[in-house]
Structure 1
Amino acid sequence: MRFKKFFIMPIKGYQYISRMFPANCRYYPSCSEYAKWQFEFNSPHHALTASALRILRCNQLFPGGIDYPVVYFIPPTMTKSLDINDFCGKIRVNYWLVPKDASRSRYYLIKDFHASNHPNHT
């Protein structure tokens, strides 16, 4: 956990400073937000490679647009039978994983801004 913070803290610092200037990223989510999501969910070498390639694409030679991060995730298997009491209560969803291909090992990472913008929202 602390190792991820080592990479994410400079990105958060950059995002804090860049709020003082007009937005100029050609992609959604922005390159810094893309890098932050990559470091939260992928290993550092995958995140660094994907972030560097994304920053290199952020210029006039590429059209830009929507480019969600792709994360590698293998869903856990169900080892016990589920009971109705397992679903009681509310959960907070910060990110949605949308399958990228039929293999179901690569997912688009989409942030749920409704949950993140309202800290008291449950």
Structure 2
Amino acid sequence: MRSFRQIPQTILIGFIRGYQLLISPVLPPSCRFHPSCSEYARQAVSKHGAGKGSWLSLRRLVRCHPFHHGGYDPVP
């Protein structure tokens, strides 16, 4: 049985996967990073939990804009 601390993590990953499967395919590619921002968020939440993973994801999203060079940026 999952602990109560894993419930927010599971819910967030579900939302991210839903975005990846349903919304992302109909949008033009725009992420300047590898892995993509949604994949980065999924990996960050999986590895670090809902709190720290969300913070890392938010920091990444703020950097994803046309004036940033992008490139390879793995989850720490």
Q: Distance in 2 between matches of 1:61 and 1:23?
A: 16
Number of paired residues?
70
Q: Which is richer in strand?
A: 1
Q: Choose which of 34, 40, 45 in structure 2 pairs with 1:39.
A: 45
**Alignment match of 1:12 (pick from 10, 17, 20):** 17
The runs of 5 or more residues in structure 2 that have no matched partner are: none
1:52 aligned residue = 58
Structure 1: segments with no counterpart, 5+ residues: 71-122
Q: Identity of paired residues, percent?
A: 34
Q: TM-score, normalised by structure 2?
A: 0.83
Query: For residues 47 and 21 of structure 1, what CA distance do their matches in structure 2 show?
Result: 24
Which structure carries more helix by proportion?
2
Higher Rg of the two aligned structures: 1
Matches of 1:49 and 1:21 in 2, distance apart?
24
**Larger RCO: 1 or 2 (CA < 8 Å, sep 6+):** 2
Q: Please identify runs of 4+ aligned residues in structure 1 that moved more than 2 A.
A: none
